[in-house]
Chain A
Amino acid sequence: MTSMIGFTRRQLLMRLGIFCNGLVAVFLAVPIARYLLSPVARARRSGYDSWVPLGDVELFPSGETRLATYRNPVVGPGDGDTAKIACWVRNVDGKSFQVFAINCAHLGCPVRWFPQSSLFMCPCHGGAYYQDGSRASGPPERGLFEYEYRIESGKLLIKASEMPTPGHASNIVREIRSCV
């Protein structure tokens, strides 16, 4: 029996059934999407960037640049050694510091400090930086990423938690203007 709206009772029931499943799909899709997007949402949470101690200030002699390591403040149960992060601490003049991310501003490889020539060099694509972190040569478009720091009861602390990347220097990382 075809009614005036153009389909039978059974077709109507089938369409109702599809509609019900659509509703349920939307109902399930929202929590699934929230679950999948949790890494993005979590980054927005306040207190995400924490002050991390790098050690006593005396560990970083005046005029020198030393490697420091810390455990990332945001860790998961299975992180193992990957939660350990390295950074370069430059004691400029005994009073002021610069703390550089280990990641090259080109594509994130670990830069190495060469005190003899006062350069940071990247082993991947040949980026080089001066001692103040500004770009010296190679493919990077900018200087090294720099962490905010403060000194509290003789300890050097930096504000960290996120791997800096060229598209997102992150709110914790100041940009260094190139001296060129």
Chain B
Amino acid sequence: MRMIESVGEWLDARLQLSSSIRATMEHPVPRETASWFYVFGSAAFVVFMLQIVTGILLALIYVPSAGEAWNSLQTLNHDVALGWFIRGLHGWGSNFMVAIVLIHMVQVFLFGAYKYPRELTWVVGVLLLLVTLGMAFTGQVLRFDQDAYWGLGIGASIASRVPLIGPSIVNLMLGGPIIAGATLSRFFALHVFVIPGLLIAFVAVHLLMVLKLGINEWPMPGRVVRKATYIKDYHELTKNDGVPFVPGAVYKDLFFAAFILLSIAACATLFGPFGPSGPPDPTIIQTAPRPDFFFLWLYAVLSLLPPSMETPALLIGPMVVILALLLLPFVFGEGEKSWRRRPIAVLTILLVAVALGTFTRLAGNAPWSPVMDAWSGIPIPSNLLRNRSALERQGALVFQLKQCHNCHSLGDQGGKRGPALDAVAVRLTRDQLVRQVIQGGGNMPAYGKNLSPAETTALVAFLDTLHPVGQSPARDASRAIALGTGPIIEPLTDH
């Protein structure tokens, strides 16, 4: 024991660190901040540490070459002892890190912690969010599978829309004319050297400011931030009603960090690593690329935006959001901190959460994508074929063969790109059906060149049977007269 003490003293005589470490550990924090709400920042840090460790472990096996990366992931998954587990930890750690950083940000926003004098802490926090998302995207690329390949294509297509310099940005991003070896190498450099370097630097500055400026006190309604008095008030608060950070507040951070690490390990064990999906061979085109969870909302937005708005929204939207986040503490640097007195802040969070949640959920079943194999794989419900004439059944065949089912559902089966056709006969008359099929319109391709008159007649005859029991199909009242087959109705005379 005395030996350890003397070694410690010998080291400290040279390092001169113990006094500053002790001061950091014992610095007083407001009593209420020793709260379960204040654990997310440290948890994000702990997950980042996990990512560094697991990342280095993966780098022992992973080959950052377009020709070999996918095979090396298979080796990790199947040949290396517990390689799948390390990949699982790294992949789930990534998801947890993004989630925790977002929760931390929401908590800081709702607790008004970005206000004076912590504006710069918030700004660095925004940068940390961006580099965290950068790590998530570049990491998805390193899992060099089909999704990664086509995801890069999407990234390049977005980047190419920047006016004037777009094509050059694409070439720089890809490291050449196509997605290939150079592309993976530079994303490897970004994911392993550049962005982690930035992350470590930003984390250091972020932490330093938290220590120097003190942890945000628990917001009380009515306790208003004023630049003239805040620092004095804060010091009085910590002096009169503070607890030392260690052990007053730190034990909750420790418990939460352990809980999060255990959750990541549980997810890695139960659900395993992510992918890789098919090999990155661009001639295998039977693929439906999907982004990772935290970019699903973007996938939905890109599908749902009207074409004319897409480029401006893609290029200006992110800049507006980032600018708003960066300017937030400078515009609202004073005033109420408590979320109880900031209804607009609460509504903003709810709005963003509901919007992102809705888009993510939509992207889960992607109703805008045609179901590519519905025409051959999903039969027409048999009740729609019972008691049908030969012509109508022929129409049902046309419906399948011409891949109408890929975009239109029957009995909730098939594509959702176009409207469901279970009751289409109630909405459209025969003539309108013919027109819609031949000319298209309303986001439907025109099939005029691709259907013979006989096929069109059969198809429309089938579509005309699609109406709920007890509801008659739409009729054009003038049709019978025009054909001279219906009852002749006296024209209204003008008086």
Known: A78-B68, A139-B307. Contact between A123 and B372, CB under 8 A? yes
- 1/0 per residue, CB under 8 A from A, across B123-162: the answer is 0000000000000000000000000011001101111111
Asked whether B153 lies within 8 Å of A166 as measured between CB atoms, the reply is no
In the assembly, what is the distance between CA of A107 and CA of B160, in Å?
10
Asked whether A126 lies within 8 Å of B285 as measured between CB atoms, the reply is no
A-facing residues in B399-436 (Cβ within 8 Å):
401-404, 406-407, 417
Asked whether B369 lies within 8 Å of A126 as measured between CB atoms, the reply is yes
Among B44-52, B174-182, B218-226, B332-340, the one that faces the other chain is: B174-182
The chain B residue with its CB closest to the CB of A162 is B177
Complex contacts, B171 vs chain A, CB 8 Å? 39-40, 42-43
Asked whether B401 lies within 8 Å of A76 as measured between CB atoms, the reply is no
In the assembly, what is the distance between CA of A60 and CA of B281, in Å?
23
* Partner pick for B445 among A85, A125, A130, CB 8 A cutoff: A130
Asked whether A82 lies within 8 Å of B282 as measured between CB atoms, the reply is yes
In the assembly, what is the distance between CA of A74 and CA of B171, in Å?
13
Asked whether A136 lies within 8 Å of B449 as measured between CB atoms, the reply is no
In the assembly, what is the distance between CA of A83 and CA of B67, in Å?
9
Complex contacts, A162 vs chain B, CB 8 Å? 177-178
In the assembly, what is the distance between CA of A130 and CA of B170, in Å?
28
Asked whether A167 lies within 8 Å of B166 as measured between CB atoms, the reply is yes
- Is A90 close to B, CB under 8 A? no
Complex contacts, B282 vs chain A, CB 8 Å? 81-82, 84-86, 102, 110
Asked whether B172 lies within 8 Å of A139 as measured between CB atoms, the reply is no
In the assembly, what is the distance between CA of A86 and CA of B281, in Å?
10
* Partner pick for A110 among B150, B158, B443, CB 8 A cutoff: B150
Complex contacts, B184 vs chain A, CB 8 Å? 78
The chain A residue with its CB closest to the CB of B400 is A116
Known: A82-B66, A107-B153, A109-B289. Contact between A72 and B180, CB under 8 A? yes
Complex contacts, A124 vs chain B, CB 8 Å? 150, 154, 288-289, 299, 303, 369
In the assembly, what is the distance between CA of A77 and CA of B65, in Å?
9
* CB proximity of A32 to chain B, nearest CB, Å: 14
Complex contacts, A43 vs chain B, CB 8 Å? 167, 171, 177
* CB proximity of B278 to chain A, nearest CB, Å: 11
In the assembly, what is the distance between CA of A78 and CA of B447, in Å?
45
* CB proximity of B289 to chain A, nearest CB, Å: 6
Known: A85-B283, A136-B440. Contact between A114 and B403, CB under 8 A? yes
* CB proximity of A40 to chain B, nearest CB, Å: 5
- Is B305 close to A, CB under 8 A? yes
Complex contacts, B181 vs chain A, CB 8 Å? 76-80, 82
* Partner pick for A79 among B66, B157, B417, CB 8 A cutoff: B66
In the assembly, what is the distance between CA of A117 and CA of B399, in Å?
10
Asked whether B65 lies within 8 Å of A116 as measured between CB atoms, the reply is no
Complex contacts, B440 vs chain A, CB 8 Å? 136-137
* CB proximity of B64 to chain A, nearest CB, Å: 9
Asked whether A80 lies within 8 Å of B445 as measured between CB atoms, the reply is no
Asked whether A166 lies within 8 Å of B66 as measured between CB atoms, the reply is no
* CB proximity of B319 to chain A, nearest CB, Å: 17
How many residues on A have C-beta within 8 angstroms of the other chain's C-beta atoms? Answer: 58
Asked whether B160 lies within 8 Å of A166 as measured between CB atoms, the reply is yes
- 1/0 per residue, CB under 8 A from A, across B296-328: the answer is 000100110101101000000000000000000
- Is A121 close to B, CB under 8 A? yes
Asked whether A125 lies within 8 Å of B369 as measured between CB atoms, the reply is yes
Asked whether B172 lies within 8 Å of A39 as measured between CB atoms, the reply is yes
In the assembly, what is the distance between CA of A138 and CA of B283, in Å?
24
In the assembly, what is the distance between CA of A75 and CA of B450, in Å?
40
* CB proximity of B187 to chain A, nearest CB, Å: 13
In the assembly, what is the distance between CA of A93 and CA of B448, in Å?
20
Asked whether A72 lies within 8 Å of B177 as measured between CB atoms, the reply is yes
Complex contacts, A102 vs chain B, CB 8 Å? 282, 285
In the assembly, what is the distance between CA of A26 and CA of B282, in Å?
41
Known: A72-B177, A82-B180, A86-B283. Contact between A108 and B369, CB under 8 A? no
- Is A141 close to B, CB under 8 A? yes
* CB proximity of B45 to chain A, nearest CB, Å: 32
Known: A79-B67, A136-B446. Contact between A161 and B289, CB under 8 A? no
- Is B40 close to A, CB under 8 A? no
Asked whether A161 lies within 8 Å of B177 as measured between CB atoms, the reply is yes
Complex contacts, A125 vs chain B, CB 8 Å? 299, 302-303, 368-369
In the assembly, what is the distance between CA of A81 and CA of B66, in Å?
8
Asked whether B445 lies within 8 Å of A128 as measured between CB atoms, the reply is yes
Asked whether B445 lies within 8 Å of A119 as measured between CB atoms, the reply is yes
Asked whether A108 lies within 8 Å of B172 as measured between CB atoms, the reply is no
* CB proximity of B280 to chain A, nearest CB, Å: 6
Asked whether B182 lies within 8 Å of A84 as measured between CB atoms, the reply is no
Asked whether A139 lies within 8 Å of B310 as measured between CB atoms, the reply is yes
* Partner pick for A82 among B156, B157, B280, CB 8 A cutoff: B280
* CB proximity of A50 to chain B, nearest CB, Å: 11
- Is B262 close to A, CB under 8 A? no
- 12 residue pairs of the A-B complex, CB under 8 angstroms, read A48-B177, A74-B176, A74-B178, A81-B281, A117-B403, A121-B406, A123-B369, A126-B417, A139-B303, A141-B307, A163-B156, A167-B159
Q: 10 tightest A-B contacts by CB?
A: A80-B67, A167-B160, A136-B445, A168-B167, A108-B153, A165-B160, A78-B181, A167-B166, A78-B65, A81-B281
Residues of chain B touching chain A, judged by Cβ–Cβ distance below 8 Å, are: 65-68, 149-150, 153-154, 156-162, 166-168, 170-172, 174-185, 279-283, 285-289, 299, 302-303, 305, 307-308, 310, 368-370, 372, 375, 401-404, 406-407, 417, 440, 443-447, 449-450
**Known contacts A82-B281, A140-B307; 10 further A-B pairs (Cβ under 8 A):** A82-B180, A108-B157, A109-B289, A110-B287, A112-B285, A117-B450, A124-B150, A125-B303, A136-B446, A166-B161
